[in-house]
Homo-oligomer: A and B are copies of this chain.
Amino acid sequence: MEDYLEAIFDLDQEKKVVRVKDIAKRMDVKMPSVSSMLKTLNDRGLVRYEKYEYVELTRDGADVGEEMRRRHGVLHKFLTEILKIDDAVADEEACKMEHTLSSATLDSLIDFMEFIQTCPRAGQSWLQYFEDYRQHGRRPEACRARSEAFSDEFEKQVTPAKKKPA
């Protein structure tokens, strides 16, 4: 149901009207599946739908759809930008995960990504370093040697530095 509401929410913003066929295509299911789901969603007050007419979201339905959209976005971003998962795969995985995550976990994940992308120390260069780590195999020693100086300084937070030889 959540998937349907998300799909309808998206289509609603992309197109003038939302039809059964569009939903079926978007979700990769057959039209009868859509028909019966629309009946269910209508009964539960999440869409307004009369046979052969266009589909409209109710307020409740739009809320659910939007929330799913948001979750999808957060997960997709994490999967592609941090874990460097292929875009299409990330889309699939996000689609499945978005239903199982609690709001608390999702919020934490958002915090995490904000932190990584807001703080230079945790930002782009850091991610690049992570990429190197993955590309060129596990090299904890090299990694340690390289970053020790920074790390030491960081432990002391704002204490002025005495550098060790790298």
Interface residues of A (CB under 8 A from B): 79, 82-85, 89, 92-93, 96-97, 100-102, 104-105, 108-109, 111-112, 114-115, 118-123, 125-126, 129-130, 133-134, 138, 140, 143-144, 146-151, 153-155, 157-158, 160-161, 163, 166
From DSSP, what is the main secondary structure of chain A's interface residues? helix
Residues of B within 8 A of A138 (CB): 114, 118
How many monomers of this protein are in the complex? 2
In angstroms, Cα B130 to Cα A55, docked, is 44
Interface-central residue, A114, A121, A143, by most chain B CB under 10 Å: A121
In angstroms, Cα B144 to Cα A114, docked, is 13
Chain B nearest CB from A94 CB (Å) reads 10
